[in-house]
């Protein structure tokens, strides 16, 4: 038998290669050397890891966003045929290189917006981990992607689940979706308990190992709030079509309900390598040796309502989405400041929601923001939020 399937290597740029998503993407690529070639790696603070990755994967170009580390990285790679640049502007430029097929956007926070937009502008396919990009400027990002014929392949596990449920159903309208949430380490706790929790407790997620910012967001349910807004833009949904359900085992990764009442779910053990591999391997399902689900280890899959009274961030995110315009951009910027302050022990866990709520009340609303409006809103919100801390 002849195998008629052509294997064409996809050339990948990994933005944020030193982070949790970035390193797991390299794990997937290491296991599938015939399917992918690494063209670009970028990192920020962890220069040594970036250098190690560059030596292993031999990309065309490496960018270290932190310019103070540029000379160090350049010297370390001087005997290799790898171009080295420093600064965020360089990331925005190199994503447009001709030989890149797909850009995996895994920088954390607002910092990932500009490079993702630049890649879309150059017509690169996007595997999107950086959910903040869609929270901040989902209208601009999705309109540009449509105009350029670019697909945004979700890496976020819930959105990957929805996408996997929709394959073969793109012509069928969605009635609603359910995003599942683990509930994080503080599920079932009350405000009295939360008022005294420390970052060490919040950084212990029951099911996932992730970067610090998203781990805190998961504990405060802001992550789910950001994901609700991300889903609105990725799947073109109205706010009332998006629901959140707490599912502590993180086995059902999300669900779609169609107009005939039928529901599809995507399931599996919690492992980000699976949605990463699906996003960069689409439309193929590539073989993997990830551990398989065992029903006997999970005799009970449970579901419960999210507690939005205690975990106010989720309610604030729904409010911001309903308000629209620059409100989600305000929500995101205030949250980035609040999380950074919490990680430095400057504010308590519950105060993070206070900072977000007050910022939403203070920063002036713009109903139809331009890109420049979003940039200005982000800056102004950071000033407002810092003043609140
Ligand atoms: P992380 O903190 O582990 O890694 C972030 C990466 O971005 C690092 O490579 C870092 O060097 C780089 N970076 C940070 N600040 C930068 C800046 N100012 N300029 C340029 N580069 C910068 O974060 P992560 O957990 O890998 O998350 C990355 C993104 O993926 C986030 O948007 C997160 O919400 C999303 N995501 C992560 C997971 C997960 O399991 N980790 C799951 C779903 C979605
Ligand atoms: Mg997620």
Q: What are the structural domains of the chain?
A: 10-154 (3.40.50.720), 159-267+292-306 (no CATH), 324-389 (1.10.1740.10)
**What span, in angstroms and rounded, lies between the C-alpha atoms of 361 and 83?**
46
Residues lining ion ligand 2 (Cβ < 5 A) are 156-158
How far away, in angstroms, is 274 Cα from ligand 1 center? 17
How far away, in angstroms, is 212 Cα from ligand 1 center? 9
Q: Which of 283, 288, 284, 256 lies closest to 272, judged by CA?
A: 288
First to last CA, the chain: 67
Q: Which of 14, 15, 17, 20 to mutate to test the pocket of ligand 1 (most atoms within 8 A of CB)?
A: 20
Given pLDDT bands bounded at 50, 70 and 90, which one contains residue 209? confident
So what's the pLDDT on residue 8?
85
How far away, in angstroms, is 88 Cα from ligand 1 center? 14
SS3 of residue 49 by DSSP: helix
So what's the pLDDT on residue 327?
99
Instruction: Kindly report, residue by residue over 30-56, the tens digit of the pLDDT.
Output: 999 999 999 999 999 999 999 999 999
Given pLDDT bands bounded at 50, 70 and 90, which one contains residue 14? very high
pLDDT of 204 above 60: yes
How far away, in angstroms, is 263 Cα from ligand 1 center? 32
Verify whether ligand 1 is closer than 6 Å to residue 88 (CB atom). yes
Task: Looking at the CA of residue 212, tell me the nearest atom of ligand 1.
Answer: 2
Instruction: Kindly report, residue by residue over 91-107, the tens digit of the pLDDT.
Output: 999 999 999 999 999 99
Report which bound ligand comes closest to the CA of 130: 1
So what's the pLDDT on residue 208?
85
- Whose Cα sits closest to atom 5 in ligand 1? 19
Average pLDDT over residues 246-256: 98
Average pLDDT over residues 80-86: 98
Average pLDDT over residues 355-360: 98
Task: Encode 165-200: b = buried (16+ Cβ within 10 Å), e = exposed.
Answer: bbeeeeeeebebbbbbbbbbbbbebeeeebeebebe
How far away, in angstroms, is 69 Cα from ligand 1 center? 18
How far away, in angstroms, is 106 Cα from ligand 2 center? 13
Verify whether ligand 1 is closer than 6 Å to residue 205 (CB atom). no
pLDDT of 350 above 80: yes
**What span, in angstroms and rounded, lies between the C-alpha atoms of 326 and 367?**
7
Q: What is the mean pLDDT of the chain?
A: 97
The CA-CA-CA angle for residues 50, 54, 55, to 5°, reads 120
How far away, in angstroms, is 24 Cα from ligand 2 center? 15
Average pLDDT over residues 16-38: 98
Report which bound ligand comes closest to the CA of 104: 1
Verify whether ligand 1 is closer than 6 Å to residue 132 (CB atom). yes
Report which bound ligand comes closest to the CA of 274: 1
Task: Looking at the CA of residue 109, tell me the nearest atom of ligand 1.
Answer: 32
Q: Please name the residues in contact with 79: beta carbons below 8 A apart, sequence gap of 6 or more.
A: none
Beta strands in the chain (DSSP E): 10-15, 36-43, 61-64, 83-86, 102-105, 125-128, 152-154, 174-181, 242-246, 252-258, 263-267
Task: Looking at the CA of residue 22, tell me the nearest atom of ligand 1.
Answer: 26
pLDDT of 111 above 50: yes
Instruction: Kindly report, residue by residue over 129-179, the tens digit of the pLDDT.
Output: 999 999 999 999 999 999 999 999 999 999 999 999 999 999 999 999 999
Radius of gyration of the chain (CA): 21
Task: Looking at the CA of residue 208, tell me the nearest atom of ligand 1.
Answer: 40
Q: Are strands 263-267 and 252-258 parallel, antiparallel or unpaired?
A: antiparallel
Q: Are 190 and 310 in contact (CB under 8 A)?
A: yes
- Stated length of the chain: 389
**What span, in angstroms and rounded, lies between the C-alpha atoms of 152 and 122?**
14
Q: Report which secondary-structure segment, H or E, holds 117.
A: helix 113-121
Strand partners for 12: 38, 102
So what's the pLDDT on residue 1?
47
Report which bound ligand comes closest to the CA of 254: 2
Verify whether ligand 1 is closer than 6 Å to residue 65 (CB atom). yes
pLDDT of 255 above 90: yes
Instruction: Kindly report, residue by residue over 365-379, the tens digit of the pLDDT.
Output: 999 999 999 999 999
Verify whether ligand 1 is closer than 6 Å to residue 22 (CB atom). yes
How far away, in angstroms, is 108 Cα from ligand 1 center? 3
Verify whether ligand 1 is closer than 6 Å to residue 134 (CB atom). no
pLDDT of 2 above 70: no
Structure-derived torsion over alpha carbons of residues 362, 366, 372, 375, reported in degrees to the nearest 10: 30
Average pLDDT over residues 242-260: 98
Q: Report which secondary-structure segment, H or E, holds 127.
A: strand 125-128
pLDDT of 7 above 80: no
How far away, in angstroms, is 214 Cα from ligand 1 center? 8
pLDDT of 362 above 70: yes
Given pLDDT bands bounded at 50, 70 and 90, which one contains residue 6? low
Average pLDDT over residues 234-241: 98
């Amino acid at each position: 038998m002849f195998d008629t399937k052509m294997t064409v290597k996809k050339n990948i740029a990994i933005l944020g290669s030193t982070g949790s998503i970035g390193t797991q993407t390299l794990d997937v690529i290491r296991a599938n050397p015939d399917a992918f070639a690494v063209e670009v790696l970028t990192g920020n603070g962890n220069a040594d890891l970036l250098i190690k990755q560059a030596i292993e994967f031999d990309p065309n170009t490496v960018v270290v966003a932190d310019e103070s580390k540029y000379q160090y990285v350049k010297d370390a790679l001087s005997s290799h045929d790898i171009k080295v640049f420093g600064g965020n502007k360089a990331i925005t430029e190199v994503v447009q290189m001709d030989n890149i097929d797909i850009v995996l956007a895994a920088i954390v926070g607002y910092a990932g917006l500009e490079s993702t937009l630049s890649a879309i502008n150059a017509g690169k396919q996007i595997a999107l981990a950086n959910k903040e990009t869609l929270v901040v400027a989902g209208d601009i990002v999705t309109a540009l992607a449509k105009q350029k014929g670019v697909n945004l392949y979700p890496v976020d596990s819930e959105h990957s689940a929805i996408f996997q449920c929709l394959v073969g159903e793109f012509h069928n309208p969605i009635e609603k979706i359910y995003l599942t949430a683990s509930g994080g380490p503080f599920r079932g706790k009350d405000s009295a308990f939360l008022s005294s929790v420390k970052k060490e407790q919040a950084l212990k997620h029951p099911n996932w190992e992730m970067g610090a910012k998203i781990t805190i967001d998961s504990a405060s349910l802001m992550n789910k709030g950001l994901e609700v807004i991300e889903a609105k833009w990725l799947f073109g949904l109205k706010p009332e079509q998006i629901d959140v359900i707490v599912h502590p085992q993180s086995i059902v990764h999300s669900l779609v309900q169609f107009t005939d009442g039928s529901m599809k779910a995507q399931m599996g053990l919690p492992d980000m390598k699976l949605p990463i591999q699906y996003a960069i391997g689409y439309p193929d399902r590539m073989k993997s040796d990830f551990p398989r689900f065992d029903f006997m280890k999970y005799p009970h899959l449970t579901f419960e309502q999210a507690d939005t009274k205690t975990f106010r961030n989720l309610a604030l995110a729904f409010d911001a989405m309903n308000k629209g315009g620059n409100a989600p951009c305000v929500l995101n910027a205030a949250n980035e400041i609040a999380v950074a302050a919490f990680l430095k022990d400057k504010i308590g866990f519950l105060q993070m929601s206070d900072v977000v709520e007050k910022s939403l009340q203070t920063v002036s609303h713009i109903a139809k923001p331009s890109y420049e409006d979003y940039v200005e809103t982000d800056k102004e919100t950071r000033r407002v939020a810092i003043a609140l801390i």
